[in-house]
Structure 1
């Protein structure tokens, strides 16, 4: 959004949305970013939430922001960090030619819809074999994000659709 702070500048607004075990949704806060949103920024945000009463988090779905998974681990050590699948796909497209986006999306779908982590790894190996020589950066991206990509695969398909994305926040 455009924010006036001496001068008008575009700044990101970060939203923390909680969903309780009962299914109730609550916006925990909004923060205006200033360009320095590393681990220190995220640790201050999460510490603020913890000090305001968020004692624990079961799962935190985030969109690959640098430093956020580390800050989550420091604040709530038992929390599971899940990368937003849609953001992971969008990040993949940054490394590919526009003419290949549809084919890459179709080739990655079996990876994130696999029944188990082992099946996802097999489908990813197939994807890597087909696209790895043309787009090795996409392969590295998924390999680096793998630990935060797979947690939702342990859940049933109905639950996966809720926890695989930050779309709930984007619709606020």
Structure 2
């Protein structure tokens, strides 16, 4: 069998009644192509270079080397070309989620670097990953300002709600780019940061006490529930009370929204599922030699998201009630 990685000897079992139809190597097939796409797909699924090489050894009985087809060489160049393709554009996004994940880069010594991610939800309910940006040092509002400005210059003229974490200075950076945007603290991030200050044995009880706060019908009701929470947990964990007090001004806009908008922002937070796939790909590799290698890995993981399209279909189906709520809440801005 002639393949793109050289001749491969295969042992075809006898099929006396011709009832078996091979899937990998078809009957009477003498040339196997598409190795590049197979390698890209395996890399996008999170397999490392060694694991891909072992897979070819197990399936085809041949070894694919980095100089031939593995992602560190020719596939890397193709990945870079695809990364240069322009991201989708839209005049207005009802919701944009922004967040940063940290990867280990070996630049002389291994250091943590932030990779900035932005996801926009279009008026049609489609989720666009607006880009991946590698930063220096820790996550900062100044770099976010440059990222958001780039997104605006690419055609995103208006955003109704920007969901972010509680990074200092980030609300000012967002409103500098989009003056009318409502800055909303990510409820999932806020709850997760709450648990960082408490031992695991109190998480379940604390979660039950927090739920009446972020599900309250009004800000006044949420304030009452928060006072009860602070009275119970404040003496033992004062840092948790301070965390919620500092984030309160960016948290309360969430309480003014229709339940459908709340569901989009909180319970179906788009960026959390994407970040989970990114972290899985990062953990499989440990650290990266360069920023470009890290971006390439995350880009390939992005291409592997929702291959069947079922997740996109479910999201679009749930999006219509939220779109009606957005059209009423932000009248004249959704078109």
1:48-73 CA distance string (max 9 Å, x none): 11111111111000122333212101
| Higher deviation after alignment, 43-52 or 155-164 | 155-164
The answer on 1:128 being equivalent to 2:230 is yes
CA 1:110–1:99: 2 relative to 1, 3 Å: same
1:94-141 CA distance string (max 9 Å, x none): 222222111111111100111111111111111111111111111111
The answer on 1:67 being equivalent to 2:67 is no
Report the TM-score, using the length of structure 2 for normalisation.
Answer: 0.48
| Partner residue of 2:117 out of 12, 15, 19 | 15
SS of 1:115's equivalent?
A: coil
SS of 1:58's equivalent?
A: strand
| Partner residue of 1:52 out of 130, 154, 174 | 154
Tell me which stretches of 4 or more aligned residues in structure 1 moved more than 6 Å: none
SS of 1:171's equivalent?
A: helix
The answer on 1:38 being equivalent to 2:109 is no
Q: How many residues align?
A: 172
The answer on 1:28 being equivalent to 2:130 is yes
Alignment of 1:1-172 (within 5 A): 1-3=103-105, 5=107, 9-164=111-266, 167-172=269-274
CA 1:126–1:66: 2 relative to 1, 3 Å: same
CA 1:87–1:165: 2 relative to 1, 3 Å: farther
For 1:45 and 1:54, how far apart are their aligned partners in 2? 12
For 2:230 and 2:167, how far apart are their aligned partners in 1? 24
For 2:158 and 2:108, how far apart are their aligned partners in 1? 38
Pairwise CA RMSD: 1.9
Residues 230 and 241, structure 2, Cα contact 8 Å, conserved in 1: yes
Residues 197 and 239, structure 2, Cα contact 8 Å, conserved in 1: yes
For 1:7 and 1:104, how far apart are their aligned partners in 2? 40
For 2:107 and 2:153, how far apart are their aligned partners in 1? 28
Report the TM-score, using the length of structure 1 for normalisation.
Answer: 0.90
SS of 2:159's equivalent?
A: coil
| Higher deviation after alignment, 91-100 or 115-124 | 91-100
> Which protein has the larger Cα radius of gyration, Structure 1 or Structure 2?
2
